[in-house]
């Protein structure tokens, strides 16, 4: 579809200008009004302009009508003090949603290809990607990723969005990087803890081990065993102790006998010496046997008392002496092991908690990896179903490639020719290209561009700054 007639009235300083659908080059000095024609056509197709004044000074209304060889008519009016009007008809039938329709028949690169050549590499890539037609919305993003990824400019082309999502500067990559760093830190910490924990460590066994009760049992056994040993030792010394008691008795009796004998001798001597005291001495002598009996009885009583105590102690000892001692070594070793094992519980619990956290972190890291890989795989899926603006277009790492080469590898002339290819790729599109500033190309590149437009059946309207004082419109 090409234009057959373009009529401009009272727009951008133009009183009236009619173009017949031919390829034209508009020449003249700066400020002669060359770009006004192109600006008017852009205004008709996009309803946008960088100029402050659209309507010609002194007029109340400006209008541009574009007619095509397919029966399409575009009539846009700019009205002072009123809302601008747009009418799009196809074979006299009004087209609903005219602005949406116009976007489907024209691309930004057709309307300003020279500006495209002067863009930065990133903006050129973005301009190409913006031409890929793929129906998506935020629900599509949410369905694919389970959420709306953060830190992404969603006003971009979907392929640029996916590239930003999977980028090493994207939220998923950076979050995964932070998580993996934390995983490595925790693994190192766990390894440091684990080297001090015995192999096969049974945390629950030692957590539930009643150390106090086992200590009590051990002390009980040791006390009982001590009593058994003391009972046996006491029983073994019974006869010796009994003989000691009997010896004490004999010693006491012997001492008493000697004392009495000595006293008797003294008394006999006194009798001899003191007959006057014989009666008294005899009376005292008569009482010595009784005194001896008393001492003998005392000695016997002490013997019997000591023997009774010895027998009593022996009876207590006999309760234990025949008992079998209980083993304590195994229990003591168990308690020793338990004490050693229980010292590891806090560190083991810390390690277990970190291992649980690790599982969550690894799961989150895997989730981010899946989403990054998804963002990397989706462009291929999109390109399989999307409407592409040019043959040979692929996308790698968010960069559009045409027949395997990035746009930035092309010369300015080749980039302009690329805009021509884009213009013809849409079979229902308007095959027109507006070249504002053709003087920026060398003669050879400019002629090659014009020739390609003719060969591809694309109408071109070009402006070129010259030294001509008058505006010259030349059909080519």
Instruction: Measure Cα distances from 267 to 271, 276, 290, 295 in Å.
Output: 6, 13, 16, 20
Range name among 61-65, 140-144, 284-288, 465-469 with the lowest pLDDT average: 284-288
| Residue 369 Cα to chain centre, angstroms | 11
Q: Which pLDDT belongs to residue 277? A: 65
387 vs 207, residue with greater confidence: 207
Closest CA to 111 of 54, 40, 160, 29: 40
- CA–CA gap between residue 223 and residue 323 (Å, rounded): 13
Q: Which pLDDT belongs to residue 280? A: 67
pLDDT above 90 covers a percentage of the chain that reads 27
The single-letter DSSP state of residue 95 is P
Q: What value does the mean pLDDT take over residues 245-270?
A: 84
Range name among 21-30, 165-174, 310-319, 366-375 with the lowest pLDDT average: 310-319
Instruction: Measure Cα distances from 383 to 81, 170, 392, 401 in Å.
Output: 45, 22, 11, 12
CA atoms within 13 A on the CB side of 395: 31
Q: Which pLDDT belongs to residue 234? A: 79
Q: Which pLDDT belongs to residue 18? A: 92
Q: Which pLDDT belongs to residue 313? A: 78
Q: Name the pLDDT band for 149 (thresholds 50, 70, 90).
A: very high
Rg of the chain in Å (alpha carbons):
59
DSSP reduced 3-state for 441: coil
Retrieve residue 217's tokens. Answer: 């049992």
Q: Which pLDDT belongs to residue 185? A: 92
Instruction: Measure Cα distances from 42 to 79, 112, 432 in Å.
Output: 17, 9, 11
Q: What is the mean pLDDT of the chain?
A: 86
Retrieve residue 460's tokens. Answer: 């071109």
Long-range contacts of 105-109 (CB under 8 A, 24+ apart): 105/1, 105/426, 105/428, 105/429, 105/430, 106/45, 106/46, 106/429, 106/430, 106/432, 107/131, 107/389, 107/422, 107/423, 107/426, 107/429, 109/418, 109/419, 109/422, 109/423
| Residue 16 Cα to chain centre, angstroms | 65
132: exposed, middle or buried (Cβ count in 10 Å: 0-12, 13-18, 19+): buried
Q: Which pLDDT belongs to residue 256? A: 85
What sign results for the dihedral spanned by CA atoms 410, 412, 417, 422?
A: positive
Q: What value does the mean pLDDT take over residues 106-110?
A: 85
Q: Which pLDDT belongs to residue 95? A: 92
Q: What value does the mean pLDDT take over residues 294-303?
A: 82
- CA–CA gap between residue 75 and residue 452 (Å, rounded): 29
121 phi/psi in degrees, rounded to 5: -55, -45
- CA–CA gap between residue 60 and residue 50 (Å, rounded): 20
Q: What value does the mean pLDDT take over residues 358-387?
A: 88
Q: Which pLDDT belongs to residue 276? A: 66
Retrieve residue 118's tokens. Answer: 């002067």
Q: What value does the mean pLDDT take over residues 136-148?
A: 91
Residue 113 above 90 pLDDT?
Answer: no
pLDDT above 70 covers a percentage of the chain that reads 99
Range name among 11-15, 172-176, 219-223, 245-249 with the lowest pLDDT average: 245-249
Q: Which pLDDT belongs to residue 40? A: 93
Instruction: Measure Cα distances from 262 to 44, 193, 257, 296 in Å.
Output: 160, 89, 8, 17
- CA–CA gap between residue 11 and residue 64 (Å, rounded): 8
In sequence order, which residues have a C-beta less than 8 Å from that of residue 98 and are 6 or more positions away? 74, 86, 87, 88
Residue 67 above 90 pLDDT?
Answer: yes
Pairing of strands 85-90, 93-94: antiparallel
- CA–CA gap between residue 345 and residue 201 (Å, rounded): 10
62 vs 297, residue with greater confidence: 62
Q: Name the pLDDT band for 160 (thresholds 50, 70, 90).
A: confident
- CA–CA gap between residue 60 and residue 62 (Å, rounded): 7
254 phi/psi in degrees, rounded to 5: -65, -40
DSSP string, 14-68: EEEEEE-SS-EEEEESTTSSHHHHHHHHHHHHHS--S-S--BPTT-SEEEEEEEE
pLDDT (tens digit, 9 = 90+) per residue, 409-420? Answer: 888 888 888 888
| Residue 76 Cα to chain centre, angstroms | 54
Q: Which pLDDT belongs to residue 396? A: 79
């Amino acid at each position: 579809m090409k234009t057959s007639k373009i009529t401009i009235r009272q727009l951008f300083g133009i009183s009236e200008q009619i173009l017949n659908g031919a390829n034209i080059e508009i020449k003249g000095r700066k400020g002669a009004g060359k770009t006004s024609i192109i600006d008017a056509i852009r205004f008709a197709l996009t309803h946008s302009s960088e100029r402050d004044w659209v309507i010609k000074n002194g007029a109340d209304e400006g209008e541009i009508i574009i007619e095509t060889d397919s029966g399409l008519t575009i009539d846009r009016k700019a009205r002072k003090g009123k809302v601008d009007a747009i009418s799009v008809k196809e074979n006299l039938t009004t087209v609903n949603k005219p602005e949406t329709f116009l976007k489907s028949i024209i691309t930004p690169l057709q309307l300003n290809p020279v500006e495209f050549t002067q863009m930065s590499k990133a903006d050129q890539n973005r301009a190409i990607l913006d031409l890929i037609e793929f129906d998506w919305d935020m629900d599509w993003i949410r369905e694919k990723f389970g959420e709306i990824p953060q830190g992404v400019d969603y006003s971009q082309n979907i392929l640029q969005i996916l590239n930003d999502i999977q980028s090493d500067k994207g939220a998923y990559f950076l979050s995964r990087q932070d998580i993996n760093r934390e995983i490595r830190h925790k693994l190192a910490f766990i390894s440091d803890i684990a080297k001090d924990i015995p192999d096969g460590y049974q945390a629950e066994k030692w957590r539930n081990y009643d150390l106090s009760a086992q200590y009590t049992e051990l002390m009980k056994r040791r006390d009982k065993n001590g009593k058994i040993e003391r009972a046996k030792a006491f029983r073994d010394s019974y006869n010796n102790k009994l003989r000691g008691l009997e010896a004490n008795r004999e010693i006491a009796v012997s001492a008493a006998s000697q004392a009495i004998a000595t006293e008797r001798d003294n008394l006999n001597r006194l009798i001899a010496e003191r007959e006057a005291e014989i009666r008294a001495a005899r009376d005292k002598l008569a009482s010595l046997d009784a005194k001896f009996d008393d001492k003998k009885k005392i000695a016997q009583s002490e013997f019997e008392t000591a023997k009774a105590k010895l027998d009593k102690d022996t009876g207590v000892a006999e309760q234990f002496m025949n008992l079998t001692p209980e083993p304590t070594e195994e229990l003591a070793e168990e308690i020793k092991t338990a004490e050693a094992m229980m010292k590891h519980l806090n560190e083991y619990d810390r390690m277990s908690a970190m291992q649980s956290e690790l599982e969550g972190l690894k799961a989150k890291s895997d989730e981010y990896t899946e989403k990054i890989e998804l963002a990397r795989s989706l462009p291929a899926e999109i390109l399989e179903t999307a409407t592409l603006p040019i043959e040979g277009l692929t996308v790698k790492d968010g960069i559009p490639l045409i027949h395997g080469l990035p746009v930035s590898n092309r010369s300015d002339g080749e980039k302009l020719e690329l805009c021509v290819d884009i213009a013809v790729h849409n079979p229902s599109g308007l095959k027109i290209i507006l070249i504002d500033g053709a003087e920026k190309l060398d003669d050879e590149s400019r002629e090659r561009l014009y020739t390609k437009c003719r060969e591809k059946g694309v109408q071109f309207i070009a402006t070129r700054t010259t030294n001509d004082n008058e505006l010259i419109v030349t059909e080519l």
